[in-house]
Amino acid sequence: MSHLLHLDSSARRASFSRELSARYAATWAGTRTYRDLAADPVPVIGEAWTEICDALLTASITNPAHYADVVETPAQKQAWAIVEPLLTELLEADVVLIGAPMYNFSIPAALKTWIDQVTFPRMSLRGKAFVVAGARGGTYAPGTPRAPFDHHERYLRDFFAGHYDVDDVRFVHAELTNALVDPHLAAREADRVASRRQALEGVSWAG
C-alpha cells in the first residue's frame, strides 16, 4: 500500500496552504504520516550535523541505510537522534505532500529547516513524487509582473530536481490570498476566489 508523508509549514492554523494540502490528503487511499513543521518545529542543524555530512563524503557513503555508520561522537549522536526519525519518514514515503505558503518570496523557515535536516550529500530520491500545495499573498504566475520574484516554486523545483534527482513534482497554488485583508488588492477579490477554486480542483486532481 502506498504511503504519504504529509507536511504543513504555515504559521497560520487556518491557512490556504493547509486547506489545499488537507484536500489532497483526503483523497489519499493508502497509509499516511503527518507532521506539522510550524506547530512542532524541527531544530536547525548544528556543527555535529555538518560533521556527519563531511564523514559521509569522505567515506563515499550515499546509501541512507549506512548513514549511521559514520556517527561517532556524543554530539553527532545527538544530531543523528533528531535526523533519524525525520529521514525515516521521508524514505518510507511514496509521495511527499508539502503545504508551503510563500513567505518573503520564498518558503517558510520551518520547511527550510526540515529540508536541511533530511538532506545529505548525493542523496537520490528518484522514484518518489512530491506535491506542493502553495499559497501566495499576491500573484506570481508566469507572465505577471512579480513572476521574477518567485523564489518559492523555483527553489523547491530546482532543489528536488538538482539534489534529490526527482522529476515528478506537482505544484498547486492559491494566488492573491492577501485580497482578503489588503485594501490595495481589494479589486482582485474575484481573482482570489477563482484562484482558490481552481487550486482546490487542481489539488483534488493531483491526488
CATH, residue 127: 3.40.50.360
Residue 15 known to bind ligand: yes
Residue 105 known to bind ligand: yes
Distance CA 194, CA 120 (A): 40
Report helix, strand or coil for 133: strand
For the chain, how many structural domains are there in total? Answer: 1
| 96, three cell numbers | 511527499
Tell whether 76 is covered by a domain. no
Residue 10 known to bind ligand: yes
pTM for the full predicted model: 0.94
pLDDT tens digit sequence for 35-47: 999 999 999 999 9
**8 Å CB contact between 29 and 187:** no
Distance CA 89, CA 108 (A): 20
Residue 104 known to bind ligand: yes
Tell whether 191 is covered by a domain. yes
Expressed as residue numbers, the domain containing 191 is 3-42+92-206
pLDDT tens digit sequence for 111-159: 999 999 999 999 999 999 999 999 999 999 889 999 999 999 999 999 9
Kindly report the backbone phi and psi dihedral angles of residue 34, in degrees, each rounded to the nearest multiple of 5, phi listed first: -120, 135
